[in-house]
Amino acid sequence: MESFKIRLAMKNLLWIQGLSCNGNTQSILNAENPQIYELFSKINLLYHPSLSVENNVLDIVEDIYRDRLSLDFLVVEGAITNNKNFHKIGDYSIGEIIEKLKNKARYIIAIGNCAVFGNIPSLYKENKDIKGLQFKFKEKEGFLPSDFKTSSGYPVINIPGCPSHPAWFTQTIITLYYEKPLILDKFNRPKELFMYLSHDGCIRNEYFEWKYEAEEFGHKEGCLFYNLGCRGPITHAPCNKILWNRVSSKTRAGMPCIGCTEYDFPLRENYFETKKNIGIPEEVPLGVSKRAYITISGVAKTLKNERVSKKLEETD
Amino acid sequence: MPRTAKKERKKLEIIKTACKLFAEQGYYNTTIPDIADALNMSVGNLYNYFNSKEELAKYIMQYSSKLLGEEIKKINEIDISTREKVFLLVKRFIEIAEENPELIDYFLRVFLSNREVFSEGCEGFLCVQEVVTEIMLFLEEGVRKGDLRNQDLFVAFVSIMGPLGGIVFLKGEGMLMKEPIEYADELAENIWRALKSD
Ligand code: SF4
Nearest residue by C-alpha to atom 7 in ligand 1: A225
Residues A253 and A170 in one domain: no
Which CATH number does B53-195 carry?
1.10.357.10
Structural domain for A246, as ranges:
196-310
Query: Looking at residues B39-49, what average pLDDT do you find?
Result: 94
At A165, the amino acid letter reads: H
How confident is the model at residue B115, as a pLDDT?
87
Domain termination residue (choose one: A127, A160, A192): A192
Q: In which element (H, E) is residue A253 found? A: helix A250-253
* pLDDT above 50: residue A204: yes
Task: Give pTM, 2 decimals.
Answer: 0.89
How long is chain A? 316
Share of chain B above pLDDT 90, in %: 77
Q: What is the pLDDT of residue A4?
A: 45
Residue A294 in domain? yes
Most confident of A108-122, A301-315, B171-185: A108-122
Residues A161 and A248 in one domain: no
Q: Please check whether residues A223 and A175 belong to one and the same domain.
A: no
φ and ψ of A182, to 5 deg: -120, 135
Specify the higher pLDDT residue, B5 or A175: A175
> Is residue A100 in some structural domain?
yes
CA–CA gap between residue A25 and residue A51 (Å, rounded): 9
Number of domain units in chain A: 2
Q: Is the CB of A197 under 6 A from ligand 1?
A: no
Q: Please check the confidence at residue B170 and state whether its pLDDT lies above 50.
A: yes
Read off the pLDDT of each residue in A142-161 and give the average, rounded to a whole number. 98
- For chain B, the average pLDDT equals 93
* Averaged pLDDT for residues A184-193: 98
Q: What Rg value do the Cα atoms of chain B yield, rounded?
A: 18
pLDDT at A124 (0 to 100): 95
* H or E element, residue A27: helix A23-29
Nearest-CB residue to A299 (from B126, B137, B143): B126
Instruction: Select the residue from A210, A211, A226, A277 to test the B interface by mutation, using most B Cβ atoms within 10 A.
Output: A277
Task: DSSP letter for A156, please.
Answer: P
> Residue A95 and residue B85: Cα distance in Å, rounded?
52
Q: Which of residues 165-194 of A touch B (CB under 8 A)?
A: none
Asked whether the ipTM of the predicted complex exceeds the cut of 0.85, the reply is no
Q: Are residues A137 and A158 in the same domain?
A: yes
Backbone dihedral angles phi then psi of residue A159, each to the nearest 5 degrees: -120, 85
- CB pair distance less than 8 Å for B124 and A291: no
Instruction: Evaluate the CA torsion angle B15, B18, B23, B29 in order and state its sign.
Output: negative
- The answer to whether residues A187 and A203 belong to one domain is no
Range name among A5-19, A41-55, A204-218, B67-81 with the lowest pLDDT average = A5-19
Average pLDDT of the residues in A108-127: 97
Last residue of a domain, one of A176, A192, A208: A192
Which pLDDT belongs to residue A50?
95
Residue-level pLDDT at A8: 54
A9-68 pLDDT, tens digit per residue, is 799 999 999 999 999 999 999 999 899 999 999 999 999 999 999 899 999 999 999 999
Q: State whether A140 and A237 are in the same domain.
A: no
Final residue before a domain boundary, out of A139, A164, A192: A192
